[in-house]
Copies of this chain bind each other. A is one copy, B any other.
Amino acid sequence: MYLLKQKILDEGIAITGEILKVDAFLNHQIDPALLRELGREFAKRFSDTNPTKILTIEASGIAVAVMAGLEMGLPVVFAKKGKPGTMTGGVFYSNVKSFTKDTEYQIFVSSSYLTESDRIIIIDDFLARGDSIMGLLDILAQSGSILEGVGIVIEKGFQEGGEKLRRRGIRLESLAVIKDMKDGKISFC
């Protein structure tokens, strides 16, 4: 997606060969008009599917998932990194490692909002090692919901997450796939 790649080249910073900082427009400061375009692109790419819901994970997946939900006319559920007092009743949960924060945490989804009759598109901002997506897939398996596909804003093509999903036969739509970030220079696949 040209608009996104251009934004990454203009405002993204390769802090190391592995860590890309895009907090100017995606995951700290957010550009709502750009995210609306990303939502439109996801709607276009998944237009041959028949989803009932979008699933994402807090926090930085929420903005793009909501824009995709707006475009597709679907509700969005975000997995929570902690169980709030208001989450009464049945709960699905899984364990997730954070690559950028080097921590492990649990994610929770109320069983009221994922059922056997749901067909899900998972949307997230980043795909690196795929740990958070694996956590969401674990929750989907518990719920009996069907997975239609996974939509990612930025896939780090040099890490194993994308390959892991494709090997499982999962349909993956990444709007930008980074080949490498050698000497601070960002290259796309």
Determine whether the beta carbon of A76 is less than 8 Å from that of B32.
Answer: yes
Q: Give the Cβ gap from A14 to chain B, nearest Cβ, in Å.
A: 11
Mark interface residues in A145-185 (1 if CB within 8 Å of B CB, else 0). 00000000000000000000000000000000000000000
Assembly CA distance A81 to B62 (angstroms): 15
Determine whether the beta carbon of B30 is less than 8 Å from that of A66.
Answer: yes
Residue A17, interface by CB 8 Å: no
Q: What residues make up the interface of A, taking CB atoms closer than 8 Å to B? A: 15, 19-21, 23-25, 27-33, 35-36, 58-59, 62-63, 66-67, 69-70, 73-78, 80-82, 84-88, 100-102, 109-110, 112-113
Question: A interface, by DSSP: helix, strand, loop or mixed?
Answer: loop
Determine whether the beta carbon of A84 is less than 8 Å from that of B59.
Answer: no
Number of copies: 2
Q: Give the Cβ gap from A26 to chain B, nearest Cβ, in Å.
A: 11
Determine whether the beta carbon of A28 is less than 8 Å from that of B110.
Answer: yes
Among candidates B70, B78, B85, residue contacting A59 with C-beta atoms closer than 8 Å? B78
Assembly CA distance A112 to B21 (angstroms): 13
Determine whether the beta carbon of A31 is less than 8 Å from that of B85.
Answer: no
Q: List, sorted by A's number, 22 A–B pairs whose CB atoms are closer than 8 Å.
A: A15-B86, A19-B85, A21-B86, A24-B112, A24-B113, A28-B77, A28-B80, A28-B87, A28-B109, A30-B62, A30-B66, A30-B75, A30-B76, A32-B67, A32-B76, A33-B73, A36-B70, A58-B58, A62-B62, A63-B76, A66-B66, A66-B67
Among candidates B31, B33, B75, B86, residue contacting A32 with C-beta atoms closer than 8 Å? B75
Determine whether the beta carbon of A69 is less than 8 Å from that of B30.
Answer: yes
